[in-house]
Amino acid sequence: MKKFRIFFLIAALAVILLTQYKLVMPFVYKVIASDIFLVDSKDKADQLPISNKLTGFAFAHCNSQIKKTLGDEANASFPAKPINSWSMGNYRYIINGEVNVTDANNTVNTKKYACRISYKNGENEEGADNFDNWDIEGLSGITH
């Protein structure tokens, strides 16, 4: 039996590779080719920074969340516009901005942040100014 140990190892590896090649990968390719992951939306993703009505509201809502995160111990002031904002498609945005934080000792620190936010109502922009219609999915660069 000890003679055939290497043979069994090589045979097992061959079976695993053959199964991967003939069974698993064709299934993966069919799933990828299907419409299962297709999201049909008028809001298309873009690699270049954009500025529109919804990114303006997203910026305002991210700033509001930052003020809540910092609490009453610090005073936050924001510029009029973000550094950059990108559309990830399907009404999801990334806002890159900065905030001037003044602490209790009157020390001012400028912090850069990134905020990932999504708009729940899709094409209906009527409620864009209402914070309840947005979900903040992530906020980085701001610590309490």
The pLDDT, as a whole number, for residue 36 is 77
pLDDT tens, N- to C-terminus, the chain (144 residues): 677 888 999 999 999 999 999 999 999 999 888 877 766 667 777 788 888 888 999 999 999 999 988 888 788 889 999 999 999 888 899 999 999 988 878 888 899 999 999 998 877 778 788 888 899 998 988 775
> pTM of this prediction?
0.69
> Cβ contacts of residue 132 below 8 Å, gap of 6+?
none
Q: How many Å apart are CA 71 and CA 104, to the nearest integer?
A: 12
The pLDDT, as a whole number, for residue 123 is 77
The pLDDT, as a whole number, for residue 108 is 87
> Cβ contacts of residue 76 below 8 Å, gap of 6+?
63, 66, 67, 70, 99, 100, 101, 102
The pLDDT, as a whole number, for residue 98 is 93
